[in-house]
């Protein structure tokens, strides 16, 4: 290879990577648009309700548990930090704003990714490799509308609701550790939450939850739907790797999107 | 001939650098059963997936009722392909749905029928495919044959004009294979759809097919009736059909049972009403064999020798033979009467005696001094058959007329 050719090797790899990324982003964007359009098909209601049950209702237990302990740890740590400055009265504000603005949407999304996102990828992936998706096509049923649209709709509905549950239970967890265990003033805790948390904070949290819902459901469905296109492995292994990829990619994108959305919301 | 229902014109399909189909052209006619045969991996399923629109050709045209698929509007294409159903090799039933839900799925999702109307149609298909007991079971709770029937019911519930079957008998035992092929033939007659099959079940598929398409080295090398296919002189016959069928036994030249059936089927189709034939049934009597007890290897050698003699002698006389049971062979002599058959049988015994003298066995008369090994009898019976007669009946008749035509001595330890 000529010296010029050798020098171009790393750039070529970067170029290929960039092209692959752009391709995937484009494909995922089209995938999302087509699936989103399918939500409004008249035969979707039953399927959406079923998916709300699988994605949302069945995640309630784990969300409640995680949020309770997150709130308790937050209450405990914050109390110890605030008490050094004699500011333990601000405990309610700290716990509620941290949960409503940041931890609620992010941790809810990550927990649903782990519980429901992985299941979505595995289910759609198996349907793909066992030709069930091809069978839908041969029956003239749009696979995106039938499999993906209800899941995206269910995620968009479930994520904000579960985030709200996370926030409420988390605040209650903070109350248990900060007030009941450490002895902070109960009235002050509740008063600070009421006075310093406004509807804007809740709305911001919900906006994040909806953004995360779109990310998690799209990534999970996309990875499963195209499990057969993997070039490294095939069959059951492809479904396994796609599931792992869906969870990892969703978590990374949640954190990246969290920063981007926070910047935009703070800017506004 | 009427214009084809589906037509492929110079269709080429590549996956990366691998060319699977190259300038493939063929016709499928309405109301017929067309079977695509070829070796595994030769692109038969790829071809089928082009018909349903799962794959698109890199070049060439696919026409439905004379109209190219590529030139159809979205709605037209949807309407055209809605007439086509596809039965997957692995059934592709939704494992999270019951049999009933699987069958109802295309109606629920693609039509505006009410639940009552859907129930009526689904129940009818469930009843027709004898799945009433299994209607509320999940596919994983069913046997392979029942899953096939469920997949067939789902395929038929939309009343398609064309049904594509991708290796419908794969993984089934011989009894089920025949049952599935019969089921396809029966439903095709009942509902009148155009069927396209991909199958390895040669020659069984011939009996239900109107047309055969042979896919060989990326091209369709033959399209025509099963009878025409028998006369098709092409490397495909040697490389594919013989490897699939096992054709004639290499050592004996005897037809396999399947080929015997096929040969007879073709002969019957060609025969006129008055064309008679004779059947000879040759049996080595077991009593003698048991008493003689000359050893298993020796038995096999004698049987193989006789098998070879039958095949050679009667093939020269224009007949064809097969081994029906361990010690029973049958020969069909087309256009022969019973007297000619009896003459041929006598000639055969003489030839057998000559041939076997000094090999595995010799006639008892010629081996009176032999005190090792055993003696057994060759019984031959002849019967007359006509095109309208069932082959089994003619064979039974020949069997009932058997007489001992030779006593053969089998040397021990051979």
- Select the residue of A43, A132, A139 nearest B106 (Cβ to Cβ): A139
- Domain count within chain A: 1
* Residue range A28-38, pLDDT digits in tens: 999 999 999 99
In a domain, A53, yes or no: yes
User: B84 vs chain A: nearest CA distance in angstroms?
Assistant: 8
In a domain, A214, yes or no: yes
A123, A124, A127, A140: which to substitute to probe chain B, counting the most B Cβ within 10 Å?
A140
Residue B340 CB partners (closer than 8 Å, separation 6+): B278, B333
In a domain, A188, yes or no: yes
In a domain, A216, yes or no: yes
Residue A148: predicted pLDDT = 96
Q: What is the mean pLDDT of residues A180-201?
A: 92
In a domain, A162, yes or no: yes
User: B83 vs chain A: nearest CA distance in angstroms?
Assistant: 10
In a domain, A116, yes or no: yes
- Select the residue of A130, A132, A140 nearest B110 (Cβ to Cβ): A140
In a domain, A65, yes or no: yes
User: B279 vs chain A: nearest CA distance in angstroms?
Assistant: 49
B97, B109, B167, B196: which to substitute to probe chain A, counting the most A Cβ within 10 Å?
B109
Measured CA to CA, the distance from residue B377 to residue B396 in angstroms comes to: 19
Nearest to A148 by CA among A223, A206, A208, A207: A223
Q: Cβ of B136: how many Cβ atoms within 10 Å?
A: 10
Contact A132 B158 (CB under 8 A): no
Nearest to B151 by CA among B229, B93, B211: B93
Residue range(s) defining the domain that contains residue A84: 44-267
- Give whole-number Cα distances, A50 to A40, A166, A214, A222, B411, in Å: 16, 22, 18, 20, 78
Residues in chain A within 8 Å Cβ distance of B158: 139
Mean pLDDT for chain A overall: 92
List the domains of chain B with CATH numbers.
6-245 (3.40.50.300), 257-410 (3.30.70.270)
Contact A132 B54 (CB under 8 A): no
Measured CA to CA, the distance from residue A10 to residue B107 in angstroms comes to: 54
**Does the structure show a pLDDT above 60 at B358?**
no
Q: Is the peptide bond before B203 cis (omega within 30 degrees of 0)?
A: yes
* Residue range B108-150, pLDDT digits in tens: 998 989 999 999 999 998 988 888 899 999 999 988 888 888 9
**Does the structure show a pLDDT above 50 at B207?**
yes
In a domain, A220, yes or no: yes
Res. B58 pLDDT band, cuts 50 70 90: very high
* Residue range A135-174, pLDDT digits in tens: 999 998 999 999 999 999 999 999 999 999 999 999 999 9
- Select the residue of B92, B110, B158 nearest A135 (Cβ to Cβ): B92
SS3 state at B232: coil
Residue B160 CB partners (closer than 8 Å, separation 6+): B83, B84, B85, B193
**Does the structure show a pLDDT above 90 at A66?**
yes
């Amino acid at each position: 290879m000529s010296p010029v050719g050798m020098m171009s090797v790393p750039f070529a790899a970067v170029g290929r990577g960039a092209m692959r990324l752009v391709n995937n982003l484009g494909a995922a964007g089209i995938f999302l648009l087509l699936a989103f359009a399918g939500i409004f098909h008249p035969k979707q209601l039953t399927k959406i309700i079923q998916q709300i049950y699988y994605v949302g209702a069945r995640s309630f237990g784990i969300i409640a548990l995680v949020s309770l302990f997150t709130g308790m740890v937050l209450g405990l740590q914050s109390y110890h930090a605030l008490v050094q400055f004699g500011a333990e009265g601000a405990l309610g504000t700290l716990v509620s704003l941290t949960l409503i603005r940041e931890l609620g949407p992010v941790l809810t999304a990550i927990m649903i990714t782990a519980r429901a996102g992985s299941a979505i990828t595995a289910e759609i992936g198996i349907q793909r490799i066992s030709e069930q998706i091809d069978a839908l096509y041969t029956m003239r049923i749009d696979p995106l509308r039938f499999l993906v649209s209800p899941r995206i709709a269910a995620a968009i509905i479930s994520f904000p609701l579960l985030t709200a549950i996370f926030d409420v239970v988390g605040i209650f967890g903070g109350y248990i550790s900060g007030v009941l265990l450490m002895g902070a003033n109960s009235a002050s805790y509740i008063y600070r939450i009421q006075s310093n948390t406004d509807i804007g904070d809740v709305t911001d949290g919900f906006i994040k939850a909806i953004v995360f819902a779109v990310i998690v459901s799209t990534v999970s469905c996309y990875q499963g739907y195209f499990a057969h296109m993997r070039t490294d492995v095939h069959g059951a292994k492809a479904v396994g790797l796609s599931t792992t990829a869906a969870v990892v990619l969703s978590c990374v994108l949640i954190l990246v999107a969290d920063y981007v959305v926070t910047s935009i919301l703070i800017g506004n | 001939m009427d214009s084809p229902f589906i037509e492929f014109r110079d269709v080429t399909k590549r996956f990366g650098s691998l060319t699977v189909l190259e300038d493939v052209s063929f016709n499928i006619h309405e109301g017929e059963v067309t079977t695509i045969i070829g070796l595994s991996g030769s692109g038969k399923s790829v071809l089928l997936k082009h018909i349903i629109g799962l794959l698109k050709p890199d070049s060439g045209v696919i026409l439905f009722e004379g109209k190219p698929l590529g030139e159809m509007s979205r709605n037209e294409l949807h309407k055209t392909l809605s007439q086509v159903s596809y039965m997957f090799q692995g059934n592709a039933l939704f494992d999270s749905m019951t049999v009933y839900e699987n069958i109802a799925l295309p109606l629920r999702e693609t039509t505006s029928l009410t639940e009552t109307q859907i129930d009526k149609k689904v129940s009818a298909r469930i009843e027709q495919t004898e799945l009433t007991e299994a209607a509320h079971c999940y596919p994983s709770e069913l046997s392979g044959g029942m899953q096939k029937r469920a997949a067939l019911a789902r395929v038929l519930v939309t009343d398609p004009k064309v049904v594509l079957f991708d290796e419908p008998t794969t993984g089934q035992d011989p009894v089920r294979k025949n049952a599935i092929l019969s089921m396809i033939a029966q439903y095709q007659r009942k509902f009148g759809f155009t069927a396209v099959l991909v199958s390895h079940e040669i020659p069984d598929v011939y009996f239900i097919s109107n047309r055969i398409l042979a896919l060989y080295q990326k091209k369709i090398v033959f399209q025509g009736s099963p009878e025409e296919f028998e006369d098709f002189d092409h490397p495909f016959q040697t490389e594919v059909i013989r490897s699939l069928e096992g054709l004639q036994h290499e050592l004996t030249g005897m037809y396999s049972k399947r080929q015997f059936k096929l040969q007879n089927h073709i002969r019957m189709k060609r025969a006129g009403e008055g064309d008679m034939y004779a059947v000879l049934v040759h049996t080595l009597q077991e009593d003698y064999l048991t008493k003689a007890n000359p050893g298993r290897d020796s038995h096999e050698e004698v049987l193989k020798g006789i098998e070879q003699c039958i095949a050679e002698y009667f093939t020269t006389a224009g007949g064809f033979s097969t081994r029906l049971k361990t010690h029973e062979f049958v020969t069909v002599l087309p256009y022969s009467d019973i007297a000619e058959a009896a003459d041929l049988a006598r000639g055969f015994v003489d030839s057998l005696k000559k041939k076997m003298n000094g090999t595995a066995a010799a006639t008892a008369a010629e081996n009176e001094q032999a005190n090792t090994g055993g003696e057994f009898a060759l019984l031959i019976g002849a019967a007359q058959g006509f095109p309208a007669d069932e082959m089994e009946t003619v064979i039974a008749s020949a069997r009932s007329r058997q007489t001992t035509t030779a006593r053969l001595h089998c040397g021990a330890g051979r």
